[in-house]
């Protein structure tokens, strides 16, 4: 039988990232403790930095779904300017 996956809330993810960045807990220890794959942890780690860098470039203001729409609109503008077909 397949084991049910844990769905982490945004607050839980931030708490885990904070332990890594501020308390310098090794990724391997965090992943072992949470039964989490390192690739998932690194994906979580990318999102805040990505949101911060994209927000200033594309005028993001609001929640995550509005960030996605804003990010995709910015990518579409870049593709149109470059002349590449999708």
Residues contacting residue 50 through CB under 8 Å, at least 6 positions apart: none
* pLDDT tens profile 45-86: 777 655 555 455 555 555 666 666 777 777 778 777 877 665
* pLDDT tens profile 28-47: 999 999 999 999 988 887 77
Do residues 70 and 58 touch, judged by C-beta distance below 8 A?
A: yes
Please state, in angstroms and rounded to a whole number, the distance separating the CA atoms of residues 83 and 86: 10
- pTM value is 0.54
The secondary structure of residue 47, as a DSSP letter, is H
3-state SS class at 59? coil
Number of neighbouring beta carbons within 10 Å of residue 41: 19
């Amino acid at each position: 039988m397949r084991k049910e996956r844990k769905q982490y809330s945004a607050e839980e993810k931030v708490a885990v990232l904070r332990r890594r960045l501020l308390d310098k807990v090794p990724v391997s220890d965090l992943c072992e403790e949470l039964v989490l794959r390192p690739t998932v942890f690194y994906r979580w780690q990318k999102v805040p930095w990505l949101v911060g860098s994209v927000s200033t470039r594309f005028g993001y203001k609001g929640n995550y779904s509005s960030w996605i729409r804003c990010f995709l609109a910015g990518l579409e503008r870049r593709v149109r300017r470059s002349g590449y077909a999708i």
